Amino acid sequence: MTRPTFPGGGRAAVIGYLLALATASGIGCRQDVQGQTTQEEPPRHTNALIHSDSPYLLQHAHNPVNWMPWGPEAFEIARREDKPIFVSIGYSTCYWCHVMERESFEDEEVARVMNEHYVCIKVDREQRPDIDQQLMLATQLMTGRGGWPNSVWLTPDGRPFVAGTYFPRDQFLAALKELARIWR
C-alpha cells in the first residue's frame, strides 16, 4: 500500500497543508458581519446532565428543563416535594428524540411547566438498558406499542402511571398540564 504524497513532501508540508485548509474553511472561529472574530455566547441554561459521560445526556445539558440523571437523588426530591417524575429515555442517534428536544425540551414555556410540576429525569438507553427495558415494557403494556423517545410519568416511588413515546409540542404541553392538575 502506498501512502499519499503532498506537494513538497514530508510532515511539515502535510501540517502546512492542513493548517491552510483549516484557515481557509474558517474552522475554529466565527466572524460577525463586519468580519471581526466573535466569541460564542455561553449557554443560557445548564442542568445536572453537564456532569454526565453520556453523549446523549450531554446533548440535553443546556436545555431549560432541569434534567437530572436517573438516581436516588431525583427520587428523593420527588418524594420530598410530592411531585410526579417525568422520564424521557432515548439515544444519541434517535431522530424523534431530537425532534422532541427541539420542539419541547428547548421550549421555555414547556420547560417552565416541566420544572414547576415534575422532577425530570433523562436516561440514555444505551448506558442504562435495564431502565429502558423496564419502562419500555410499561409503555407497551399501557399503549400497545413502544418506541423512542420513551416518555413515562412515574409516581415519586417509581411506579409508572402514564406512558407514551414522541409527543408533538402542543399535545405534550397539554398532557403535562392535565397530569399536573390531576396529581394535585
pLDDT digits (tens, 9 = 90+) for 58-77: 999 999 999 999 999 999 99
In this prediction the pTM is 0.77
* Whether residue 86 is found in the same domain as residue 14: no
The pLDDT of residue 10 is 55
Residue 168 inside a domain? The answer is yes
* Whether residue 79 is found in the same domain as residue 126: yes
The pLDDT of residue 90 is 98
The pLDDT of residue 36 is 54
Full domain range(s) for residue 92: 48-183
Which parts of the chain have pLDDT scores under 50?
1-7, 12-33, 35, 37
* Whether residue 33 is found in the same domain as residue 79: no
The pLDDT of residue 15 is 47
Residue 177 inside a domain? The answer is yes
* Whether residue 174 is found in the same domain as residue 119: yes
The pLDDT of residue 80 is 98
Give the whole-angstrom CA distance, residue 97 versus residue 88: 9
Q: What is the CATH number of the domain that holds 102?
A: 3.40.30.10
Report whether 176 contacts 118 (CB < 8 A).
Answer: yes
Query: Hey, what's the torsion of the CAs at 148, 149, 154, 157, to 10 degrees?
Result: 80
The pLDDT of residue 109 is 98
